[in-house]
Amino acid sequence: MTERDDSATAAQAPKKVLYIDMDNTLVDFQSGIDRLSEVEQETFKDNLDDVSGIFSLMDPMPGAIEAYHRLAKEFDTYILSTAPWDNPLAWTEKLLWVKMHLGRDETSPAYKRLILSHHKNLNRGDYIIDDRTARGVDKWEQGKHIHFGQDSFRTWDDVLAYLLPRA
């Protein structure tokens, strides 16, 4: 095989699959809580994700949007999140958040790449970036869990430094 054939084969190799969680990974959940009224915060104090409209109030985590765009160029990237079972509006609000912050048409790296599931371990991939081990992340066997906000992955810059060389 010639050097030219090697580079053609490498160019055709499939990208590694990467999943990215939303809440407290791409999305700053606390920013939505901070925008709730005191009455809403008290009424829903144990279930803040059940407040209608809360997901539309949230800002991106620092560096998240830029990191998503960079990673989407190198990986086959999907957003894998869980929506609260008792807040049906959250399912729609998560899609609207993605469209608002990552783009809404075919040119967006997030176009039709949002997966909402309570069983994240049913998806297959090389990496999952999530701030928790719940909803099946603790059963993620086929790839590496990048525990966002912990240890070596405290910021999006930390995540990029780890993942980009492994694309």
- Specify whether 138 is catalytic: no
- Specify whether 28 is catalytic: no
Residue 74 contacts residue 159 (beta carbons within 8 Å): no
Strands (E), 61-121: 76-81, 114-116
- State whether residue 58 is helix, strand or coil: coil
Catalytic residue among 5, 6, 23, 34: 23
Residue 117 contacts residue 82 (beta carbons within 8 Å): yes
Alpha-carbon distance of 17 to 144, in angstroms, equals 11
Q: For tokens 């081990």, what's the residue?
A: 133
Cβ-Cβ contacts under 8 Å for 142 (sequence gap 6 or more): 124, 125, 126
- How many C-beta atoms surround the C-beta of residue 18 within 10 A? 24
Catalytic residue among 6, 21, 76, 126: 21
Q: Which residues are catalytic?
A: 21, 23
